[in-house]
Amino acid sequence: MRHQIFRIASQKRSRDCILRPFFDNVTRSLSQNSSQSERPSFGVAFDIDGVILLGHTPVGGSPRALRRLYDDLGALKIPYVFLTNGGGFPESRRAAELSEILGINILPSQVIQGHSPFKQLVNRFENEFVIAVGKGEPAAVMTEYGFKNVLSIDEYSSYFDGIDPLKPYKMWTAREIGNSVKTKRGDVVSKRVQAAFVLSDPVDWSRDIQLTSGAL
């Protein structure tokens, strides 16, 4: 198997092949509660930062505008999604945050982040040993997608003594919060990484580039 690094900003043809079935699934899930005659012929994709929210504050009348997409009984009239190139956290967590801030029930399927298309690669790498790169909780994201043998780049690096000679001079901590149960060192060192998934911008670029290149 050829070892690969996956990042959303890849060639357009490859990106389209991954995104097309994902958007088809979103469209079906949002319209399944309506009859064919009632389904609108269009949907809306909203960016989040600077359009719906500024930080954690709604922009203008964005909550009121979103409520107009529902009928008086609270049923969705016009399907919509939040489309953002951000990420690093599970869609379920992002949906819960948006729901609380906007006062509207947002489903995880309505949140499309930069790494959401990685769900389409579960069948290919479900049981393979892979690493997840980026700030936030990259391993938790991949686990929620269905990947069964994944470590964050921070946890992976912890198994190799002296892998980062500049570590004593770095004043930040990039370790993933809420990490999984510690894997035995021998199991990690003896395994070959089959793929690396970049979910968000790393905090420690120099270490992550070095470690990912060496692992693959």
Specify the pLDDT at position 34: 55
Where do the DSSP E strands lie in 31-167?
Answer: 44-46, 53-54, 57-58, 80-83, 111-112, 130-133, 150-152
pLDDT classification of 32: cutoffs 50, 70, 90: low
Sequence-distant (≥ 6) Cβ neighbours of residue 52 within 8 angstroms:
46, 58, 59, 62, 66, 82, 98, 102
Each residue's pLDDT tens digit, 69-115: 998 888 889 999 999 998 999 999 999 999 999 999 999 999 999 99
Each residue's pLDDT tens digit, 138-151: 999 999 999 999 99
Specify the pLDDT at position 9: 42
pLDDT classification of 31: cutoffs 50, 70, 90: low
Q: Is residue 99 part of a domain?
A: yes
Q: Based on the fold, state whether residues 88 and 148 are members of the same structural domain.
A: no
Query: 101 or 14: whose pLDDT is higher?
Result: 101
Q: Based on the fold, state whether residues 103 and 127 are members of the same structural domain.
A: no
Has residue 3 got a pLDDT over 90?
no
Our count of domains for the chain comes to: 2
Specify the pLDDT at position 39: 74
Instruction: Name the residue range of residue 192's domain.
Output: 118-215
Query: 161 or 35: whose pLDDT is higher?
Result: 161
Has residue 7 got a pLDDT over 70?
no
Last residue of a domain, one of 64, 92, 112: 112
Query: Residues 85, 91, 95, 97: is their CA dihedral positive or negative?
Result: negative
Has residue 59 got a pLDDT over 70?
yes
Q: Based on the fold, state whether residues 55 and 130 are members of the same structural domain.
A: no
Has residue 35 got a pLDDT over 60?
no
Q: Based on the fold, state whether residues 108 and 124 are members of the same structural domain.
A: no
- Domain containing residue 57: CATH number: 3.40.50.1000
Q: Based on the fold, state whether residues 132 and 79 are members of the same structural domain.
A: no
* Distance between CA atoms of residues 8 and 22, nearest Å: 13
pLDDT classification of 177: cutoffs 50, 70, 90: very low
